[in-house]
Amino acid sequence: MSEQFIPLNPGTLLAPVPAVMVSCALPGQKPNIVTIAWAGTVCSDPPMCSISVRKERFSHPIIRESGEFIINLCGEDQLKDMDYCGVKSGRDVDKFAERHLTPVSVPDFAAPAIGECPLYLACKVTSVQELGSHDLFLGRIERVGVKPDLMDEAGRIDYSKAKLIAYNHGNYYALGQALGFFGYSVAAPDVLKRRMEALR
């Protein structure tokens, strides 16, 4: 019988993942932006996120010392800015200025959110764990902001309007057609029909 899987060396092959712009700042200093793909939701209650950042990033000591970071979600309209913030360092350029991005102040945070992004999650660092190549910053989400044009009439976030992107091993992708919804495998036929029509 042939092998069902080809064994590979252990590696970070999880995909797709988000790619986000993380804004950070020390009080009274210019803010910076670092692009992060190793980001995730880690707890619902309390709401918490993680980001993994290499020590050599200019942003690393800023996040460590300020004890905060702001995750700014990226849509197709922010793609080039997001890529730029992931190849240029704040040591050399002012990324807000270079990309004409708008710093928007967030109460109780030294770092601004990025005005062009559809949604931000402002986090206070609760712990830092040295893992090896990256340090894992866990953060509690203290403030969330969403652009008004993303809200539907029922007051819910319509994520389709954000045109969010995904990152898959070096390449950026638009999200495709909605294929289902949470629980659709067991939904009643009338619910399934109505919800699927609404998704398309």
Ligand X SMILES: Cc1cc2nc3c(=O)[nH]c(=O)nc-3n(C[C@H](O)[C@H](O)[C@H](O)COP(=O)(O)O)c2cc1C
Name the residues that contact ligand X, by CB under 6 A. 19, 32, 34-38, 52-54, 57-59, 83, 86-91, 134, 167
Shortest distance (Å) from residue 20 CB to ligand X: 9
Which is closer to ligand X, CB of 172 or CB of 181?
Answer: 172
Look up tokens 């708008």; give the residue: 102
Shortest distance (Å) from residue 194 CB to ligand X: 37
Which is closer to ligand X, CB of 169 or CB of 194?
Answer: 169
* Cβ–Cβ < 8 Å for 69, 137: yes
- Residue of 146, 85, 159, 89 lying closest to 117 (CA atoms): 146
Which is closer to ligand X, CB of 35 or CB of 120?
Answer: 35
* Paired strand residues for 22: 34, 71
* Cβ–Cβ < 8 Å for 113, 106: yes
The residue at minimum Cβ distance from ligand X is: 86
Shortest distance (Å) from residue 109 CB to ligand X: 18
Backbone phi, then psi, for 113, in 5-degree steps?
Answer: -80, 165
Alpha helices of 38-188 — where are they, by DSSP H?
59-66, 79-85, 95-98
Look up tokens 């712990």; give the residue: 127
Shortest distance (Å) from residue 100 CB to ligand X: 17
Which is closer to ligand X, CB of 166 or CB of 192?
Answer: 166
- Sequence-distant (≥ 6) Cβ neighbours of residue 8 within 8 angstroms: none
Which is closer to ligand X, CB of 89 or CB of 126?
Answer: 89
Shortest distance (Å) from residue 89 CB to ligand X: 3
